[in-house]
Amino acid sequence: MDTRSRKGRVGERGFTFVEVLTTVLVIAILVMVSVYAFGKVFDDTTSAAKRNAQSICTLYNHALLAGAEFGTTDEGEIIDALIAGITGPLISGSVFRISPLNAEEKAAVLLYCDHDETSQMMLYYPEGVGGQQP
Protein backbone atom coordinates (compact mmCIF):
# COMPACT_ATOMS: atom_id res chain seq x y z
CA MET A 1 0.00 0.00 0.00
CA ASP A 2 1.27 3.47 -0.87
CA THR A 3 1.50 5.59 2.30
CA ARG A 4 2.14 8.78 0.37
CA SER A 5 -1.30 8.87 -1.13
CA ARG A 6 -2.99 8.67 2.28
CA LYS A 7 -0.73 10.95 4.30
CA GLY A 8 0.13 13.46 1.59
CA ARG A 9 2.91 15.79 2.80
CA VAL A 10 2.47 15.06 6.51
CA GLY A 11 5.33 12.61 6.60
CA GLU A 12 7.68 14.67 4.42
CA ARG A 13 10.23 17.10 5.84
CA GLY A 14 11.82 20.25 4.42
CA PHE A 15 10.78 22.97 2.03
CA THR A 16 10.25 22.96 -1.68
CA PHE A 17 12.57 24.83 -3.99
CA VAL A 18 9.88 27.42 -4.74
CA GLU A 19 9.36 28.14 -1.02
CA VAL A 20 13.09 28.66 -0.42
CA LEU A 21 13.44 30.79 -3.55
CA THR A 22 10.50 32.98 -2.52
CA THR A 23 11.94 33.49 0.97
CA VAL A 24 15.36 34.44 -0.39
CA LEU A 25 13.77 36.85 -2.86
CA VAL A 26 11.73 38.59 -0.12
CA ILE A 27 14.82 38.94 2.09
CA ALA A 28 16.85 40.34 -0.82
CA ILE A 29 14.18 42.96 -1.53
CA LEU A 30 14.09 43.98 2.15
CA VAL A 31 17.89 44.32 2.22
CA MET A 32 17.90 46.46 -0.93
CA VAL A 33 15.23 48.78 0.48
CA SER A 34 17.03 49.17 3.82
CA VAL A 35 20.42 49.83 2.18
CA TYR A 36 18.85 52.55 0.03
CA ALA A 37 17.13 54.12 3.06
CA PHE A 38 20.27 54.13 5.21
CA GLY A 39 22.34 55.52 2.34
CA LYS A 40 19.87 58.36 1.89
CA VAL A 41 20.01 59.19 5.61
CA PHE A 42 23.82 59.32 5.43
CA ASP A 43 23.69 61.60 2.36
CA ASP A 44 21.19 63.90 4.09
CA THR A 45 23.42 64.10 7.17
CA THR A 46 26.48 64.94 5.06
CA SER A 47 24.55 67.59 3.13
CA ALA A 48 23.32 69.18 6.36
CA ALA A 49 26.87 69.27 7.77
CA LYS A 50 28.14 70.94 4.58
CA ARG A 51 25.34 73.53 4.64
CA ASN A 52 25.99 74.26 8.33
CA ALA A 53 29.72 74.58 7.68
CA GLN A 54 29.26 76.91 4.74
CA SER A 55 26.82 79.09 6.70
CA ILE A 56 29.09 79.28 9.73
CA CYS A 57 32.19 80.10 7.66
CA THR A 58 30.32 82.83 5.78
CA LEU A 59 28.81 84.20 8.97
CA TYR A 60 32.19 84.31 10.70
CA ASN A 61 33.81 86.11 7.78
CA HIS A 62 31.00 88.68 7.60
CA ALA A 63 31.12 89.26 11.36
CA LEU A 64 34.90 89.67 11.17
CA LEU A 65 34.62 92.17 8.32
CA ALA A 66 31.96 94.06 10.31
CA GLY A 67 34.45 94.49 13.16
CA ALA A 68 33.55 91.63 15.50
CA GLU A 69 36.37 90.31 17.68
CA PHE A 70 36.36 86.72 18.85
CA GLY A 71 39.50 86.58 20.99
CA THR A 72 40.26 83.01 19.91
CA THR A 73 41.34 81.09 16.83
CA ASP A 74 39.90 77.77 18.01
CA GLU A 75 37.22 76.77 15.49
CA GLY A 76 35.02 75.14 18.12
CA GLU A 77 35.01 78.23 20.33
CA ILE A 78 34.38 80.47 17.31
CA ILE A 79 31.33 78.38 16.37
CA ASP A 80 29.99 78.63 19.93
CA ALA A 81 30.52 82.41 19.96
CA LEU A 82 28.80 82.83 16.59
CA ILE A 83 25.76 80.84 17.63
CA ALA A 84 25.52 82.62 20.98
CA GLY A 85 25.74 85.97 19.20
CA ILE A 86 23.10 85.10 16.63
CA THR A 87 20.59 83.77 19.10
CA GLY A 88 21.49 86.51 21.58
CA PRO A 89 22.29 90.20 21.34
CA LEU A 90 24.34 90.27 18.11
CA ILE A 91 21.31 90.34 15.82
CA SER A 92 18.42 90.83 18.23
CA GLY A 93 15.81 92.06 15.74
CA SER A 94 16.65 89.58 12.99
CA VAL A 95 14.42 86.76 11.82
CA PHE A 96 17.56 84.72 11.14
CA ARG A 97 18.06 82.12 13.84
CA ILE A 98 20.42 79.20 14.22
CA SER A 99 19.96 76.58 16.86
CA PRO A 100 22.91 75.51 19.00
CA LEU A 101 24.88 72.61 17.57
CA ASN A 102 25.43 69.49 19.60
CA ALA A 103 28.91 67.92 19.80
CA GLU A 104 28.32 65.65 16.79
CA GLU A 105 27.04 68.48 14.60
CA LYS A 106 29.94 70.73 15.61
CA ALA A 107 32.43 67.94 14.82
CA ALA A 108 30.79 67.49 11.40
CA VAL A 109 31.04 71.23 10.70
CA LEU A 110 34.72 71.23 11.66
CA LEU A 111 35.36 68.62 8.95
CA TYR A 112 34.57 71.31 6.36
CA CYS A 113 35.73 74.55 8.07
CA ASP A 114 39.24 75.66 8.91
CA HIS A 115 40.51 78.90 10.41
CA ASP A 116 43.31 80.40 8.31
CA GLU A 117 45.86 82.03 10.62
CA THR A 118 47.26 84.25 7.86
CA SER A 119 44.04 85.84 6.64
CA GLN A 120 42.14 85.31 9.91
CA MET A 121 39.23 84.06 7.81
CA MET A 122 37.22 80.88 8.26
CA LEU A 123 37.58 78.86 5.05
CA TYR A 124 34.98 76.39 3.77
CA TYR A 125 36.21 73.24 2.01
CA PRO A 126 33.42 71.33 0.20
CA GLU A 127 35.65 68.26 -0.08
CA GLY A 128 36.67 68.43 3.57
CA VAL A 129 39.62 70.11 5.28
CA GLY A 130 42.84 69.06 3.55
CA GLY A 131 40.95 67.86 0.47
CA GLN A 132 39.98 64.62 2.18
CA GLN A 133 36.32 63.66 1.87
CA PRO A 134 35.13 62.80 5.41
Whether the predicted model's global pTM rises above the 0.85 cut: no
Q: Per residue in 7-36, pLDDT tens? A: 555 556 788 999 999 999 999 999 888 888
Report the b/e string of 45-80 with b at 16+ CB within 10 A.
eeeebbebbbebbebbbebbeeeeebeeeebeebbb
Q: What are φ and ψ of residue 81, in 5° steps? A: -65, -40
More confident position, 41 or 115: 115
Q: Per residue in 78-123, pLDDT tens? A: 777 776 655 444 444 444 455 667 778 788 888 888 888 888 888 8
Q: Which residues pair with 124 in a beta bridge?
A: 113
What are the residue boundaries of the structural domains of the chain, listed by start?
17-131
